[in-house]
Structure 1
């Protein structure tokens, strides 16, 4: 089935209503307090039959479409009112139905007033992540979230969150959802939430439509009061070191870089969500309840209809049209790819236009996105500093999305500096001058597009080669500037013309791909506009629209969106061959799909078994470069010091091995960025040291890099051991934990660490503590370590 000639997209996210009532009486609740009142006629509690059939429908849909993962949120009303037995039934039914079909990301969203250890033990058994609603401190929260008799819910919510903060349950804490009220002090709200140490906070605009607009102060003449409130939170969040992820800020910055949003209220990603009510009826997103009575209804239910039929419903398909599904005013907006028209429900107007309107928060969104773009993308004069708490956090081997994003922004600042050096220290041609002027204009008017290109890992590789000082380096410099300008113009969709020098018949557009032309072609004229890119070279014209038919000579970058992680498989850029191993030539479609499948499985494993590593990878690992396999089929992987955001890997035999290589190599990427910001050791130290993972002694920085990378190796084998990997996993964990600890002590005794370095190494030592193994595993691990030491020539001191 299709609408407007387009096949419907599969659904991946499901909200399963466990209970249709709530023990609080929040006056801003979209379920009970807005236009749709369908809850009144629904059963209080979902039945076992609905649970079983829903699980079967989701499994059927996932199998039909080959989905790698589905996300299910147990919701309400208040889902804890369904009781532990019914919640166990839901988790059991879903887990059993999806076993062997795809990964299940199971969550629950609760007000937490009745959350206790028995609930959390149940959630720990099934790996159910817990999100909590809380609007700030007591005064802020009690504006809306009270019991029906007016009592405050604040103390009981804090007790529930305190339980989630215990080490035993900390891994279950998904974050806090906070609805904005302009009467609340944004700084006080931020500080109250940050004090609870949530991994993430989701600040939500209160649900409103053009018929029922949001409350605004009398002096809000430009309609940006909500933007100003959020920007005040942003400034406090930044000033205090970004101790938690904030979904709205992360989503804006991701979309400005060309990545996918983390929330349906921003970006152009198609909707892929369905709601199952307690009576088994399918509905669209709950937020539509704010539009009009019956707005979310589909007329479908789990007993009589498949999820393919739900996915083909006109209301859901309408939210899958991307740019084409927006109002004309939105399509012409400069921030549309970040805003995406705002939340679908917030566009509603009952004058006949329905949802084909800008968001009722249009001015707020424009102001917020523009301000964040200007603060993060255009001010490169001051490099972001790495505070002590950032270094402490990174010393654990992990790293939040906010901290890794800080490293990425510094790396971008470095590349911008290098670009300036390249231009000012190399000879120019008239065409090169034109390209530089185009790039300068783009940097002023579409800085996010320029940053997206400059953040490509191999731009820095090109820049360093361009500073070689010889004629070839100068030619490389001019060609690279033109390539960057053309790629940025194409990304911005602006009408520009750039003349790009061509070498060996290859036109390179970093982040986009390469175009192969006749070997004698010396230059290409690249013309860009909103529809795509046209290249004139050697008497031929190549047209590359944004979407549509493929051009045979064009080898585009392959980007995979893997459930919160956008990563490019880079097999075209000629500067990718900097990893010490031969880069794989262009992959066939089947080879690329095999990579997609393995990356999907590896990413699911990381998110499930090493969740502390996932946010950093999602924030900072942008590119994977395939390597040629070794003749011996040994695992090969590498990270280049001057290619932040990329790792190179020869595709291993198993996705779990790929997961290990990803976390291992990304450690090198992170530490390389740290070393660009902080001196951890004396660079004059020439002593070589024994490294338990190498056949040759290593300089101090090499030992530090290897030690840091092996924190991830230790955590990998710890997870494998705890996950039932048996004696082999226990022995490997024991060996790498003990030998990494030995390397830590070597570093500590080197007498070449700075004060920051000593604190960093102390953090490494602390991260390795705990988890006693059996005597048998310990003996086997020590035998392996001794065998390795006998094969290594002694280090020189």
Structure 2
């Protein structure tokens, strides 16, 4: 039996092996490898069809949901409009019914025209362009063979994409030269409004080290840090793959780049003659370095994946030099780009020739991200603490508690994503946040999104597949809320795909379902059919609107089971209408100031199973659970009591009131909930309230706890006095 392999997911297809520029930093034509001289100038149709079939065969064998193909060169536009169209159609025909196809082309731009762009639109091919910054930076390397500048032609191409074909504009690639002004390069790139920029370190090895100004061992890190800090100060106006990858790995996720992190390489190059090669960057090491001796005519891609060269790049930490394995940043850096480790005599078993730069850059970016992602300090005014202790907080007082809860929810989701390390879903969340921070905040503050994240963080490395897969569902909803167009595979749990805050789709026996998001709507692929919210298989979360409150009746979210008492099953439409009517009448009966306080944070009501008690959960702030009651008065009392219990949980997240004493926290929560409904307590409940308050104050407490306990006792005494006076009357 053959050992398992890491399948290829990224395919760089060389459709042309010559270039119309003579860039002196090009790894294909200007470094050690000269294999391009013996290859066809362009790929033939026969070879293209064979390669397309091999890719589809590989995707089918390994059950890949999607493959990413980049037309490359040389300069791929030299293949011409018609040939590239035929190649694209060959790929789509082969992939149809097997996997999704993400098709790009990367070009120097000088030949780009409307004819190419019209064809790219028809064939859904996105375009990346190489440019090194402003005119001075670009002309340092990117010239025609006669020394003429290519800058004007490249700017014309990028302007065409940006202004007339923005749907094709994938981004820019910039090779770093430390002789260029980093701020000038950054500003020139930002002015072109790219959706994404890739900064590349110039290819170099220990035998042929990179240019370094005298005395500057970290010149490349210093250059990139200058760009990074300006990028952050500008609010991250575009994605930067190098920076995003470092930030992602700092959060525990996986890198988006083969040059960073320890994720196994999943990239293969196919040359114009159909031969399989390792990454082009190896051409900088020595002549023939990327060769495998395998080709599409005689070998499958799985055979190529077993080649020792690919295997060496898929063994993670084990393949790194001892110095790298001992480094505290090894999981972020991963030893740098494989080609940059080469030294004659020791091969690739060395740190990167950019080791010092990578250490400095990663350390700086990680520290900056930790400063940003740390939960902000939320101060609670003394007047708000006193108002809360009185048992009658205003909406403004509640807002002082709900704002920190959003911060805690964001932190919980970040930590969950770090445990799960789903690169694709996390990237969608990052993109969605760039599109609308407010929309993503609204999603992350959904009570059961936080309950899921808290569970993931608590479970850690023994996460269930359902818990790990739920990040994809959260990403789908983020895309819906922000208008991103994405396609994501979401696990089906109990034959259901759950989308938090929206509802769930029944899927039959599928383990995963593909969800496509477009124009703020979604469709789920079930048994080969695309089903939308109009489908009878869709079970939505139902709204409850009453007296200025807009809540959700959520009886479908898998993470609503966080209260202790069991939650109920999905209600029928008739039962849901009756339940909503009782809850609505209960809310409408409350005083206006009480409803205003609830409006500041309450978002979700969830039915419990057969019980008489209500419930709140510290992990699901903003949600309350009610039993199946039919009396609005009983429902109103339960709402008020457990709303106040939830506020004590939020306050304890913000302040230490009990010195960390769990029993006192329980007593405090119980007392505060009872105080909120003191006018309707039975004698037994009044005794329980008095006992709890006495036990809270019996012993040493932190200063805020002492203040709160005194005012809580005063509030209880005042209410008892009012009740006694009312009784005498």
Q: Is the 8 A contact 2:133 2:184 kept in 1?
A: yes
Query: Partner residue of 1:195?
Result: 191
**Which of 213, 218, 222 matches 2:214?**
218
Alpha-carbon distance in 1 for matches of 2:449, 2:211: 59
**Which of 91, 98, 114 matches 2:88?**
91
Alpha-carbon distance in 1 for matches of 2:159, 2:132: 16
**Which of 260, 270, 273 matches 2:267?**
273
Query: Partner residue of 1:413?
Result: 375
Distance 1:701 1:288, change over 3 A: farther
* 2:238 is aligned with 1:241: no
Query: Partner residue of 1:371?
Result: 364
* 2:500 is aligned with 1:638: yes
Alpha-carbon distance in 2 for matches of 1:299, 1:181: 35
Query: Partner residue of 1:29?
Result: 26
**Which of 330, 333, 337 matches 1:336?**
330
Q: How does 1:553-564 map to 2 (within 5 A)?
A: 560-562=422-424
Normalised TM-score (structure 1)? 0.55
Q: How does 1:569-584 map to 2 (within 5 A)?
A: 578-579=447-448
Alpha-carbon distance in 2 for matches of 1:627, 1:156: 53
Query: Partner residue of 2:257?
Result: 263
Distance 1:694 1:369, change over 3 A: same
Alpha-carbon distance in 2 for matches of 1:193, 1:253: 21
Q: What is the Cα deviation at residue 325 of structure 1?
A: 1.1
Query: Partner residue of 1:291?
Result: 285
Q: What is the Cα deviation at residue 638 of structure 1?
A: 3.5
Q: What is the Cα deviation at residue 701 of structure 1?
A: 8.7
* 2:34 is aligned with 1:163: no
* 2:13 is aligned with 1:20: no
Query: Partner residue of 2:181?
Result: 185
Distance 1:610 1:346, change over 3 A: farther
**Which of 481, 484, 491 matches 1:613?**
484
Alpha-carbon distance in 1 for matches of 2:82, 2:468: 38
* 2:114 is aligned with 1:127: no
Distance 1:86 1:699, change over 3 A: farther
**Which of 39, 43, 48 matches 1:46?**
43
Q: What is the Cα deviation at residue 241 of structure 1?
A: 2.2
Unmatched tracts of structure 1, length 5 or more: 381-408, 422-453, 462-483, 489-509, 513-556, 568-574, 640-646, 666-692, 707-797
Query: Partner residue of 1:466?
Result: none
Q: What is the Cα deviation at residue 628 of structure 1?
A: 7.9
Q: How does 1:99-118 map to 2 (within 5 A)?
A: 99-118=96-115
Query: Partner residue of 2:313?
Result: 319
Deviation per CA, 1:387-441: give whole Å up to 9, x if none.
xxxxxxxxxxxxxxxxxxxxxx3xx424x7699x9xxxxxxxxxxxxxxxxxxxx
Alpha-carbon distance in 2 for matches of 1:68, 1:89: 23
Q: Is the 8 A contact 1:31 1:286 kept in 2?
A: yes
Q: What is the Cα deviation at residue 374 of structure 1?
A: 1.4
Alpha-carbon distance in 1 for matches of 2:105, 2:476: 19
Query: Partner residue of 1:303?
Result: 297
Q: What is the Cα deviation at residue 697 of structure 1?
A: 3.7
Q: Is the 8 A contact 2:417 2:471 kept in 1?
A: no
SS at match of 1:413: coil
Q: Is the 8 A contact 2:485 2:517 kept in 1?
A: no
Alpha-carbon distance in 1 for matches of 2:516, 2:182: 39
* 2:152 is aligned with 1:149: no
SS at match of 1:211: coil
After superposing on structure 2, the runs of 4+ consecutive aligned residues of structure 1 that deviate more than 2 Å are: 416-419, 454-461, 557-567, 575-587, 591-607, 609-612, 623-629, 635-639, 647-665, 693-703
Distance 1:128 1:662, change over 3 A: closer
Alpha-carbon distance in 1 for matches of 2:312, 2:421: 25
Q: Is the 8 A contact 1:72 1:107 kept in 2?
A: yes
Q: What is the Cα deviation at residue 7 of structure 1?
A: 2.4
Q: How does 1:495-644 map to 2 (within 5 A)?
A: 560-562=422-424, 565=427, 578-579=447-448, 613=484, 637-639=499-501
Q: How does 1:666-677 map to 2 (within 5 A)?
A: none
Q: Is the 8 A contact 2:81 2:116 kept in 1?
A: yes
Q: What is the Cα deviation at residue 239 of structure 1?
A: 2.1
Q: Is the 8 A contact 2:253 2:421 kept in 1?
A: no
Q: Is the 8 A contact 1:165 1:173 kept in 2?
A: yes
Distance 1:648 1:225, change over 3 A: farther
Distance 1:60 1:583, change over 3 A: same
Distance 1:76 1:341, change over 3 A: same
Q: What is the Cα deviation at residue 219 of structure 1?
A: 2.2
Unmatched tracts of structure 2, length 5 or more: 383-405, 430-443, 523-540, 554-729
Alpha-carbon distance in 2 for matches of 1:582, 1:362: 41
Deviation per CA, 1:350-372: give whole Å up to 9, x if none.
12x10011000000000000011
Q: Is the 8 A contact 2:469 2:491 kept in 1?
A: no
Q: Is the 8 A contact 2:491 2:513 kept in 1?
A: no
Normalised TM-score (structure 2)? 0.60
Distance 1:82 1:582, change over 3 A: closer
Deviation per CA, 1:64-95: give whole Å up to 9, x if none.
01000111100000000010111011101000
SS at match of 1:30: coil
Distance 1:54 1:30, change over 3 A: same
Number of aligned residue pairs: give it: 491
SS at match of 1:341: coil
Query: Partner residue of 2:703?
Result: none
Q: Is the 8 A contact 2:8 2:268 kept in 1?
A: yes
Query: Partner residue of 2:586?
Result: none
Distance 1:295 1:600, change over 3 A: farther
Distance 1:63 1:627, change over 3 A: closer
Deviation per CA, 1:92-132: give whole Å up to 9, x if none.
10000000000001000000001011100111111101000
CA RMSD of aligned residues (A): 4.4
Alpha-carbon distance in 2 for matches of 1:318, 1:227: 27
Alpha-carbon distance in 2 for matches of 1:611, 1:51: 38
Alpha-carbon distance in 1 for matches of 2:76, 2:193: 24
SS at match of 1:299: strand
Distance 1:625 1:282, change over 3 A: closer
Query: Partner residue of 1:689?
Result: none
Alpha-carbon distance in 2 for matches of 1:326, 1:376: 26
Alpha-carbon distance in 2 for matches of 1:190, 1:581: 37
SS at match of 2:105: strand
Distance 1:657 1:128, change over 3 A: closer
Alpha-carbon distance in 2 for matches of 1:150, 1:581: 59
